[in-house]
Amino acid sequence: MDDINFGSKYDRQVRLWNSNGQQSLTESKICIINVSTTASELLKNLVLPGVGSIVIIDSSKISQNDLSTNFFLQESDLGSYKAENLAKNLKILNPDISITPITNLQLNSQLFSSETSSTFWKSFDCVIYCSISNNSFIDNYQDQLSNLLWELDIPLLKLSSIGFFAYLRIQLNEQTIIESHESNFYDLRIDHPWNSLQNYINSIDISYTKNENYYKIPYSIILTKLIQTFKYENDNKIPTTSQIRKCIKSLYKTGDESNLDEAYNKAYLIMKNSTNLSNNIKYIFNNVKCLNITKSSSLFWILTNALKSFYDIFHILPITGILPDMESDTKEYINLKNLYTEKFNIDKKYIKEKVIKTLKSLDRSPNEILNNEQLLDLFLKNSHYLKVIKGTKWDSIDKILEIFKTDDEHLKNKALIYLAFLSFESYSKEYKMYPTINDNSKLRAIAISILCKNKDIKTFPEGLEKMLDELSRSNGNELHNICSIIGGIAAQEVIKILTNQYIPLDNCLVFNGITGKTSSFKL
């Protein structure tokens, strides 16, 4: 698909993640294992926005029970493969999507266990596993899948919904995010103007007694002039917001100057120190992947290495070049815009030359960046808001038990549903069936055996028994409304991963349909 098609067919979502995000989504390939109502809802929310290719792995057939909650399977489909019918029905929603069902059980075994399986899994950008707890085949291979995808650096999502409860767990080795979509991209340098901007500022008088066009001056110029005047008159002391606002009030002549109103409202910007680094950028600059560039380094880390070099020399990050709309004369605004664009191009040239030099030293082609001008622009415009997510593996039991030996009751409450699901899944794996309300004592014994793996846990967590009762009461059945919610949340996280935009969940989420609340925490 090209940008024109994006604009017509996917207009609303392109506004969220831009044409480059839609391009990434359209070129993505995902795999989903097991067809459940949750899986169907998740896939619906990926098919509609245009994920390019989907593979569905499931060898089970449609039963009467499936029809009670899954709107994407029909009574006429009874006895046929779930994966095939789901693929057929989802295809109607977006004919441009490629959906391939895999139903051969023997082939499935090879995909999980053969030496050549990594070739198959490498083709995916994301894998989703919908837990079906008494499916012995999946129980036998989910650990191998987790380990393999971790080694291949392919994101893996696991989710399940039973009764009124649901959870989502993301296994993500590392996610490097350029477009985090922070709310404030503006880098006005009010406190730290460069030479050409300072010369421009010096040429402007903001006093209405000396400049009859003072009401045309952009607010960033007004704030910078007032800061510099205040520092000059007060032994280089930095003014407070209230002090600057007092100075702005003295500039009014008619009381109807909209640029002064804007300067007054934006006066808090003077407190920003343009030379400071966020914790995220500090983490990136101290990361061994940024410090030690190798031939196998990704372009993201080569760019951040160049960014660190820039900061080490100039003690400030490159300017983003993004100038917000301002109340001003058109000519004055264009003059200011040109200064910011000129500075952006100067900073960009330094980063570009540094990256080319690094690529050549690694015996890699400079075309990696020369042919990727859009990426370089995106990187610089977002350079103040880069983000790296470092995830953990599925090894959940030890990690979650660490939570229950602490005194953090708030965190324990968040983790209760997840612990209940782990107990439910362990029961199903051991007894090859879902627990019923009559199996509460056995399910509770499973939960106790899990808790006893950590000797520092002395008591049975308050509230866990009610969670277990709800899961056993549901007998492994899904509720469509709960599946719709968790499927929508999971699809949103998949889109974040595929577009490499926004900040994904890190890394566990539970949903309580009784209270209508979601909670997230990290394992």
In tens, the pLDDT along 114-134 reads: 666 888 999 999 999 998 755
Per-residue pLDDT at 4: 41
- As a whole number, mean pLDDT of residues 450-475 equals 91
Buried b (16+ CB within 10 A) or exposed e, 202-233: eebebebeeeeebbbbbbbbbbbbbbbebeee
Per-residue pLDDT at 407: 86
* Structural domain includes residue 491: yes
Mean pLDDT is lowest, of 109-118, 389-398, 500-509, for 109-118
* Structural domain includes residue 363: yes
* Structural domain includes residue 56: yes
Domain count, the chain: 4
Domain housing 234: 195-271
Mean pLDDT is lowest, of 65-79, 458-472, 497-511, for 65-79
Pick the last residue of a domain from 365, 390, 415: 390
Same domain, 317 and 449: no
Same domain, 266 and 372: no
The model's confidence at residue 82, banded by pLDDT at 50, 70 and 90, is very high
Residue 448 reports pLDDT greater than 50: yes
Residue 336 reports pLDDT greater than 80: yes
Same domain, 15 and 150: yes
Same domain, 449 and 499: no
User: Which residues does 291 contact at the CB level (< 8 Å), separation at least 6?
Assistant: 305, 308
- As a whole number, mean pLDDT of residues 407-418 equals 91
**Radius of gyration in angstroms for the set of CA atoms belonging to the chain, rounded to a whole number:** 28
CA 444 to CA 465: how far, in whole Å? 7
* Structural domain includes residue 180: no
Pick the last residue of a domain from 390, 417, 438: 390
Same domain, 488 and 356: no
* Structural domain includes residue 188: no
Pick the last residue of a domain from 363, 390, 417: 390
3-state SS class at 303? helix
Q: From residue 140, how far is each of 24, 55, 76, 364, 434 by CA, in Å? A: 33, 21, 32, 42, 17
* Other CB atoms within 10 Å distance of the CB of residue 354: 20
User: Which residues does 497 contact at the CB level (< 8 Å), separation at least 6?
Assistant: 125, 126, 155, 172, 175, 504
- Which percentage of the chain shows pLDDT scores above 70? 94
What mean pLDDT, rounded, does the chain reach? Answer: 90
Q: Any idea what the CATH number is for the domain that residue 20 is in?
A: 3.40.50.720
Beta partners for 157?
128, 170
The model's confidence at residue 429, banded by pLDDT at 50, 70 and 90, is confident
Same domain, 25 and 169: yes
Per-residue pLDDT at 106: 62
Per-residue pLDDT at 184: 67
Q: Identify the CA nearest to 238 among candidates 247, 246, 230.
A: 230
* Structural domain includes residue 97: yes
Same domain, 350 and 295: yes
On the question of a cis peptide bond just before residue 507, with omega within 30 degrees of 0, the verdict is yes
User: Which residues does 138 contact at the CB level (< 8 Å), separation at least 6?
Assistant: 33, 34, 129, 131, 132
* Structural domain includes residue 187: no
Same domain, 246 and 149: no
Same domain, 17 and 166: yes
Buried b (16+ CB within 10 A) or exposed e, 398-430: ebbbebbeeeeeeebbbbbbbbbbbbbbbbbbe
- Cβ burial of 83 (10 Å; 0-12, 13-18, 19+) is buried
- As a whole number, mean pLDDT of residues 402-428 equals 91
Same domain, 265 and 247: yes
Residue 2 reports pLDDT greater than 50: no
Same domain, 296 and 341: yes
User: Which residues does 462 contact at the CB level (< 8 Å), separation at least 6?
Assistant: none
pTM of this structure: 0.89
Per-residue pLDDT at 67: 87
* Structural domain includes residue 509: yes
The model's confidence at residue 143, banded by pLDDT at 50, 70 and 90, is confident
Same domain, 169 and 82: yes
Three-point CA angle 300, 303, 305, nearest 5°: 110
Token pair, residue 458, equals 């002395």
Residue 7 reports pLDDT greater than 90: no
Q: From residue 83, how far is each of 42, 72, 127, 151, 494 by CA, in Å? A: 14, 11, 16, 27, 20
Amino acid identity, residue 129? Y
